Amino acid sequence: MPKSLFQKVWDAHSVRKLANGQTQLLIGTHLIHEVTSPQAFGMLRDLGLKVAYPHRTFATVDHIIPTNELVEPYADPLAQAMMDEIRKNCAEFGITFFDRASGKQGVVHIVGPEQGITQPGTTIACGDSHTSTHGAFGAIAFGIGTSQVRDVLATQTMALGALKVRRIEVNGKLRPGVYAKDVILHIIRLTGVNGGTGFAYEYAGSTFDAFTMEERMTVCNMSIEGGARVGYVNPDETTFAYLKDRPYSPKGAEWDAAVERWKSYASDPGATYDDVMKIDAADIAPTVTWGINPGQGISINENVPSPDTATSADDKAGIIEALEYMKLPAGKPIKGTKINVAFLGSCTNGRLSDFREVAKYVKGRKVAAGVKAIAVPGSQIVALQCQKEGIDKVLAEAGFEWRDAGCSMCLAMNPDKLIGDQLCASSSNRNFKGRQGSITGRTILMSPVMVAAAAVTGEVADAREVFHVANN
């Protein structure tokens, strides 16, 4: 019977059925970072357990590290304590740690692919909900809690119920000035923030076929924002070309065998799905959020919703709560809304292609007066490549602060935070209340090029107009 990639990978990694009906699933690759792992190591010690497969866990630091401070001890003693803790744990349990001194440190979801650790047909888990990013390679990648981090450390498995699979097909060519970020914001707008609960998403169609790996990662990254724990794209030649010659990719004869095996995991023609959703790429516009969850999005030329046009009582209450928090007038254009901060970076949009695209447009332009703009490469390797290409200089000359690698203002567990009710044009993934570090801080999610347009104009703007992108 034809099977989807999800079913094949699930079957290949199923160890056994547990008493409650869940599956004991082998997690081939485990990624850890400083925030959700220390308690797990503590639990291991309390239970007197060892790490079962230390060579299959990889660590880095991203959430708490300051991106404007390289010298330790860090000004924040709690950040330093977490740094010390992960170093100690990795050394004690024999885990590879991409520390800052390695030159390979970065946001965990950027480091895994960059190193070739993320591979097709594998299962991956990490104590971070954006682990779905790795699905771009045709892996089944789960965000997990700390007790499950413990489970994976101790047994290289976790207990899990099977997911349903929804195929989301996007077909056609994106219009100029429309990016992968817009695709996922558009999808979440359609499904709502819980429409994906219980599903793994298989992203497919000619739009995804044409996407680079970095574009696929951007979409898979935000699957959880629509409620789906897992999102993936079937592996193809684009996937294999990206992985060739990466540090952890198979080499020589092993490479050829691996590619054959990887191909075999792709969904079979005729595979059945629990649900199918079809989207025409031409219907997707540059999309921005106006509210307090990633499903509250509109195209740049639409008006902010009004409670009067709500489709239900729930919708109405949601609009009222969001507009009150965001301090946005109902029924008015979002375009022209003044911003205070522009943030480029995160596991969603902190990759080389993101900075290349932004540099192309901001070259020779200036960040608007009064706007604080920061550009945070997702990894040290991304940072280095940006330097080689002069991207860091272009951004710095335009008025962006060029930082070291980390999560930075995506979640503000580090010195980068909004102040008061500042409004941030952000290439990150969440616009929850208080997400960027101030309890009244406001976030508008958008693509990196839209962030650049907001940075140079000082307001939410249509990047196609600001940068004269031909709309044909």
Partner 1 sequence: MSLAKITSVSGRGVYVPGNDIDTDRIIPARFMKCVTFDGLGEFVFFDVRHTPEGKPTGHPIDKPQHKGATILLSGANFGCGSSREHAPQAISKAGFKAIIAENFAEIFFGNSTTLGMPCVTAAREDIAKIAAAVEADPQTEVTIDLVKLEARFAGQTVKISQRESARDALVNGRWDAIGELIEGLPTVRATAAGLPYMAA
- Which residues in 78-97 contact partner 1 (CB under 8 A)? 78-79, 81-82, 85
Going by C-alpha positions, the residue among 134, 111, 131, 108 that lies closest to residue 122 is 134
Least distance in angstroms from the C-beta of 249 to partner 1: 10
Is residue 261 a contact residue for partner 1 (CB under 8 A)? yes
Residue burial 336-347, b: 16+ Cβ < 10 Å; e: rest: ebebbbbbbbbb
CB 413 within 8 A of CB 420: no
Told to check if 253 binds partner 1 by CB under 8 A, we report: no
Give the Cα separation of 28 and 55 in Å (integer).
10
Site string for partner 1, 139-168 (x = CB under 8 A): ----xxxxxx-xx--xxxxxxxx-------
Q: Which is nearer to partner 1, 76 or 357 (CB)?
A: 76
- In the complex, least distance from residue 9 CB atom to partner 1, rounded to whole angstroms: 10
User: Do 42 and 53 form a contact (C-beta atoms < 8 A)?
Assistant: no
Q: Does residue 14 touch partner 1 according to CB under 8 A?
A: yes
Q: Which stretch binds partner 1 (CB under 8 A): 12-20, 236-244, 264-272, 379-387?
A: 12-20
Q: Does 310 bind partner 1 (CB under 8 A)?
A: no
Piece in contact with partner 1 (CB under 8 A), picked from 174-182, 183-191, 265-273, 412-420: 412-420
Task: Select from 16-24, 272-280, 358-366, 464-472 the region that touches partner 1 (CB under 8 A).
Answer: 16-24
Closest CA to 356 of 233, 215, 461: 215
Q: What are the DSSP calls for 357-425, one per residue?
A: HHHHHHTT--PPTT-EEEE--SBHHHHHHHHHTTHHHHHHHHTEEE--SS-GGGTTSSS----TT-EEE
Q: Is the CB of 317 or the CB of 396 nearer to partner 1?
A: 317
| Cβ at position 148, least distance to partner 1 in Å | 7
**Per the omega criterion (within 30 degrees of 0), is the bond before 73 cis?**
yes
41-217-429-377 Cα dihedral, nearest 10 degrees: 80
User: Which span sits near partner 1 by CB under 8 A: 208-216, 330-338, 382-390, 433-441?
Assistant: 433-441
Q: Which of 107, 220, 258, 285 binds partner 1 (CB under 8 A)?
A: 258
The structure tokens listed for 268 are 């079979």
Q: In the window 320-379, what residues touch partner 1 (CB under 8 A)?
A: 321
21 near partner 1 (CB under 8 A): yes
Helix and strand numbers, DSSP H then E, in the chain: 17, 19
Alpha-carbon span 249 to 255, nearest angstrom: 7
The residues in 192-251 that bind partner 1, with binding defined as CB under 8 A, are 193-194, 197-198, 224, 227, 229
C-alpha span between 438 and 3 (Å, rounded)? 46
Q: Choose, by CB under 8 A, the member of 47, 71, 253, 369 that binds partner 1.
A: 47
Residue span 278-307 as binding mask against partner 1, x where in contact by CB under 8 A, dash where not: ---------------x--------------
Q: What is the DSSP letter of 322?
A: H
Q: Does 52 bind partner 1 (CB under 8 A)?
A: yes
